Amino acid sequence: MIKQNVLPNFVGNEETKTIFQETISKCIKDKREFPHTLIIGSSGMGKNKLAEFISREIGANVLELDCSNRNINLVNNLLKLPDKSILLLDNIHLLPIEIIHNVLFRFMDEGKIYLRYPDGRIEPFDVGKRITILGTTSEFEKVLPPFIKRFNLILEIDSYTHDNICQIIRDFLAPISLSEDAISILANTTRYNPRIAIQNAMLVKKYAQQNTATKLESQDIDKILLSNKINTYYAHIITDYIKNNNFLQNEKDKRLCHYESLIIQLQLNGFIDCEQFLNLLQNEYSQSDSICHRLR
């Protein structure tokens, strides 16, 4: 049986992780391939990382193709892949419609593809291999409904909270220690995106290694980020406001602090000062369930 914590380094999205764990366990127990799966989420949210975990746990080969490549040849890749493989189609919403209709519909339904022979014949060919189609998309609305129906498992990667990003940063930087303010400021420069969080944390790790530092404060983070032309002004405002107003104590409050949405609203209002920002934040919070819900 699979170990209980399949995704030890994947922070957040507990429900999605549970579904993955249960599905992987069942696949191993029944000795069958992973079901065709569609993973939905914004860029940098960990969709491909989940695919890597699946392939590792079930012992499958994985081939990743970027569907933005107009020269993609799915037929050749399906024929070349060994038995028990995962074909990871990144940005699947960009896959040309003719490829979806002519190749993937029949393969996902029957395990067959159409081949054109030298004499002009076009006949179905049974691939005869256990291959999982695993698609990732940041634009679910662009995926054809008949295509969606062919996926046995559809999972969405939820937006990350402030706490999630702080934990990702802590895990990545260990054993380097950051003060709570330092972690919060660093988190609030990431638009709450794990990929950006790791990129910014790498800058911090490099600085710590170069200076043989084991503990960093908020002024160190300012120095590191500003030297890499990353503005920390609004990160400080958000950090102070979170701390002073006891935000992030429940799920409703966690949804409030979505950095990217806040910045969009700031840009719409022009550059505003700290007091205006706090008033805007407080007003939005009192008028609706979540600033994210209104501004996304």
276 phi-psi bin (left φ>0, alpha ψ -120 to 50, beta other)? alpha
CATH class label, 14-156 = alpha beta
What is the model's pLDDT at position 254?
46
How much helix, strand and coil, in percent to the nearest 5, is found in the chain? Answer: 50, 15, 35
Using an 8 Å Cβ cutoff, are 225 and 189 in contact?
Answer: yes
**Residue 76 CB: number of other CB atoms within 10 A?**
9
Query: Hey, what CATH topology would domain 162-295 get?
Result: Helicase, Ruva Protein; domain 3 (1.10.8)
DSSP, res 140: G
Q: What is the pLDDT along the chain (296 residues), one digit of tens a residue?
A: 333 444 556 777 778 888 888 888 898 888 888 999 999 987 777 777 777 788 888 888 889 999 998 888 898 899 899 998 999 999 999 999 999 998 999 999 989 888 878 887 888 888 888 899 999 998 999 999 999 999 999 988 877 878 888 989 999 999 999 998 899 889 888 877 888 899 999 999 999 999 999 999 999 998 998 888 887 766 666 666 666 655 544 444 444 444 445 555 555 555 445 455 555 555 544 443 333 333 33
Q: Round to whole Å and give the CA distance between 237 and 68.
A: 38
Residue that is written with structure tokens 């919403």 in the block: 93
Using an 8 Å Cβ cutoff, are 133 and 104 in contact?
Answer: yes
Going from N- to C-terminal start, the domains of the chain cover 14-156, 162-295
Using an 8 Å Cβ cutoff, are 86 and 63 in contact?
Answer: yes
Preceding peptide of 175 cis, ω within 30°: yes
Longest dimension (CA), the chain: 76
Q: Round to whole Å and give the CA distance between 84 and 87.
A: 10
Output the CA angle 215-219-224, nearest 5 degrees: 85
What is the model's pLDDT at position 88?
92
pTM over 0.75: no
Residue that is written with structure tokens 């550059």 in the block: 271
What is the model's pLDDT at position 259?
47
What is the model's pLDDT at position 220?
93
